[in-house]
Structure formats: C-alpha cells, structure tokens
Chain A
Amino acid sequence: MLWTELGRIGRGFDPWYDFDWETNLVDRAAAVPSMQAIEFPLLNVWVNADEAVLTTEIPGIDAKSVEISVAGRTVSLRGSREPEPEAEGQTYHRRERWYGQFSRTIELPFNIESAGVEALFRKGVLQVTLPKAQADKPRAIKVKSE
C-alpha cells in the first residue's frame, strides 16, 4: 500500500506527508493521472463517524431514472443519459458531452444501514448518504477505575 501510494503520487519520501493528507486530498487526487482505469461516473466519497456520503456529477439526468442499490458494503449506481434527438437541417459544430448508460459499484469499508440511505439530486450533482450499520459504528468505551 505504501509503495503504490508513493508511486501514484509521484513524489519522494515526505515525513510530513500525513500531515496535510486530509486538507488537499480532493485537489490532489483529481489532478493526478492515476494508473488505475477510470470508471464512469467519477465519484467522490466523504466520511465521518456516522456515515459516508457519495457524490457524483451527472448533469442533465432525470432524477427518477437513476437506480441506486445497496447491499452489505457495496453501493451501485445505474442510469443513462439520452442524446438530443437529431433534427433535420441542423449541424453539430461540437459534440463533446457524453451520453449513454453507466453503472458503477463501489465498496465501502463498513456495512451500510440500507433503511437510512438517502439520495438527493441537485444542480446536476447526485449526493447519496449512506449511514453506517449500528454494529460498525465507533463506540466509546468507558474505562473503569478501581
């Protein structure tokens, strides 16, 4: 893990590396051309003690057509975007926007409480909140003194 990480980021050994790990993770990960195959759609995952939040940019999609399924530790997203219908007498100068079907599955490091999953589609960004299963939540343990 350590070595792959070093190679991927392409820097030498840096003792302060962990120090700013959280602050610029988003920027760095997106800027680095990673060696692994990039799947679509691109996902960002945010976590705290109680939940993970998955965000993805899928503009122009009908919110009802997105399927989200949760099983154990994995989440799957599935959906599609249709191309604009071609009409006669029109010419494309540029055609860069994607269309077609997509599906993506990711695994989280904890079990998901499937009853509490919420999804919100706003301004073309889908945000899925995945609460941790009760058993996987951190528990504070009191230390008894005698």
Chain B
Amino acid sequence: MAATTKELQKKEAQVPERVERTRAVRIFSPQVDIVEKKEEIVVTADMPGVDEKSVDINLEKNILTIFGAVEEDNLVAKHQPYHAEYGIGDYERVFTLSDEIDRDRIQATVRNGVLKVILPKAKAAKSRRIAVKAGA
C-alpha cells in the first residue's frame, strides 16, 4: 500500500542543493509519458490548473524544461478548507533529450490540463541507421 500511496500523491519537484526558489509557492513534478515515434518524440504531462498562457517550455541545448504556473484557488476568498488531500502549486520538470531535435518545429498544446509537446527529430538524427555488412 505504501508504494501505491506514494504514487497517488503529487510529487514535489526536487530542488538542486543550495538552490532556492524565488517564489513562495510549492512546485510539483508532473507525471509524464514520453513516447518516441519515427519522426518525433512526444512528451505528455498532466498539469491540472495550467492553460496555454501559463505554460512555459524551454529547450536549451539538450535540456527541455517544462514549467506551468498555477493560480491560487479562486475558492480561497470566500471558503474555508474543510478537507484537503492534494496541494496546489506550480509544475516544473527538466529532461535531457538524447536525440537531436529540430527546434523550429516544436509544437505544444494544452488541453484540459494536459500538456503535449511534440519534438520533431532533426533530419540528421533521423537517418542515423547504419547498415552493418558481413565481414569478408
């Protein structure tokens, strides 16, 4: 049960040692699926509370950073918390990509709190298959 519990709870993003956040909000690590297809790599992340305006995707060299800002719950003003199981905060997750990515054609969409980033492979990376000949 312990393992299941851990999975269900939102996981807070790790901060490298001695690095502090400037904003006083919690940061969660979104759950992702990463699928590699022939032409592209698709990163899907669950980021409830994020829309297309509050998401920020950054690719620097081979490091892909996904960030999503979440507003404070609009219920705070007129309601009191009665029961709470999940925390609310921003999302951040960083990946190192192995393949060369065609930066100009990166696409990202957010729908119902799910972020989908399509990273097309660069031509050079696509044709990397090397035929192996049998030795004489």
Chain A positions near chain B (C-beta within 8 angstroms) = 22, 25-31, 33, 37-38, 40, 42-48, 52-53, 55, 57-61, 63, 84, 87, 89-98, 106, 121, 123-125, 127
Contact = CB atoms under 8 A, between A and B. Distances in A.
Contacts of A106: 83
Interface of chain A: mostly helix, strand, loop or mixed:
mixed
A48 B79 contact: yes
B33 A46 contact: no
Interface in B35-89: 35-38, 41, 44-51, 73, 75, 78-88
30 contacts: A26-B87, A29-B85, A30-B84, A30-B86, A33-B9, A38-B8, A40-B8, A43-B85, A44-B81, A45-B82, A45-B83, A46-B80, A46-B82, A47-B79, A48-B79, A57-B48, A57-B113, A60-B46, A60-B111, A60-B112, A91-B35, A94-B34, A95-B33, A96-B31, A97-B31, A97-B45, A98-B31, A123-B112, A124-B46, A124-B48
B14 interface: no
Contacts, number: 140
B21 to A, nearest CB: 15
Interface of B: 1, 4-5, 8-10, 26, 31-38, 41, 44-51, 73, 75, 78-88, 111-114
Given A89-B38, A96-B31, A60 B114 contact: yes
Contacts of B48: 57-59, 123-125
Nearest to B75: A46
Given A59-B48, A84-B44, A124-B46, A97 B32 contact: yes
A63 B1 CA distance: 30
Contacts of B78: 48
Contacts of B47: 59, 124
Given A26-B88, A33-B9, 15 more contacts: A25-B81, A29-B83, A42-B86, A43-B85, A43-B86, A55-B75, A57-B49, A59-B47, A60-B112, A63-B112, A87-B37, A123-B48, A124-B49, A124-B50, A125-B113
